[in-house]
Structure 1
């Protein structure tokens, strides 16, 4: 049996879903289609905790963490029914909501079934890109975490 040759993962491996259930209880996950760019980040807050006891060596302590997703989507429509894709519309409505209406329950994972997968709640910023008369209708999304980003088992894993 030969040893498989490692390959490089592609940026397009990410799949974003939002929970469309009324109670945001994770019972109705739906795809956010049309993503053309996706950048996840989970930055820690690190504070200097050095003391004389460290004999000149810096010591640091992680005191918090935040997550944020940036994505660009091609806006999807049903031109017969004159409606936008339901997940796109849910994100747009959340961007204009207050309190819990401004939050979406989301998860994102490796679409090939690799183990990387996350779940959390985020506030939505919705910014249409505009453009030339030949441009596609694109929106820049920023999903700013509120609360923890949980490591989950990839629901697409074999």
Structure 2
């Protein structure tokens, strides 16, 4: 194995949304026009220090939460009659309740490197507004609801 020397770029991430009605991972499609992408998976640590530790702190991981924040440019058809179907599914989930308020997403390294993740999330849809010359952008926050799974990158060779 050779020593890594090339710096990877932030735009390496590809975000996809499961468009299937069952949200079973059978119809992942590109979430298009992403201009900014960030994800976190913060652990919850609780103090588990005891006298026997000789004054050193002890900690125990008791939980974990994950989140994806993506900003995208809104895209419409040439005749301005429809938006991206994937964007619309996510926007609709933001206004829904219960199971309909969740979407299954996955993201992976678009160059096929091993990092890839999948999970079910609640949606926050926040239009960004702007000046008269600004692009129409939306910041979407996917708040994990359940486990974040490490998956085999579907784009791997």
TM-score by length of 1: 0.96
**Structure 1 4/148 Cα, relative in aligned 2: closer, same or farther at 3 Å?**
closer
Query: 1:101-131 deviations in whole A, cap 9, x for unaligned?
Result: 1000000000000000000000000010011
Displacement of 1:54: 0.6
Indicate the residue corresponding to 1:151 in structure 2. Answer: 150
Q: CA–CA distance in 1 between the matches of 2:76 and 2:68?
A: 23
Please state if 1:77 is matched with 2:73: no
Secondary structure of the 2:14 match is: strand
Please state if 1:39 is matched with 2:38: yes
- Within-5 A mapping of 1:88-107: 88-107=87-106
Query: 1:2-28 deviations in whole A, cap 9, x for unaligned?
Result: x67611111100000000011011111
Count of aligned positions = 156
Please provide the CA RMSD for this pair. 1.1
Displacement of 1:74: 0.3
Runs of 4+ more than 3 Å apart: none
Displacement of 1:76: 1.0
Secondary structure of the 1:100 match is: helix
Q: CA–CA distance in 2 between the matches of 1:64 and 1:152?
A: 20
TM-score by length of 2: 0.96
Q: CA–CA distance in 2 between the matches of 1:41 and 1:142?
A: 11
**Structure 1 43/4 Cα, relative in aligned 2: closer, same or farther at 3 Å?**
closer
Indicate the residue corresponding to 1:117 in structure 2. Answer: 116
Structure 2 alignment gaps of length 5 or more = none
Displacement of 1:81: 6.0
Displacement of 1:53: 1.1
Q: CA–CA distance in 2 between the matches of 1:92 and 1:120?
A: 18
Q: CA–CA distance in 1 between the matches of 2:19 and 2:114?
A: 24
Query: 1:60-100 deviations in whole A, cap 9, x for unaligned?
Result: 00000000011100011113261000110011000001001
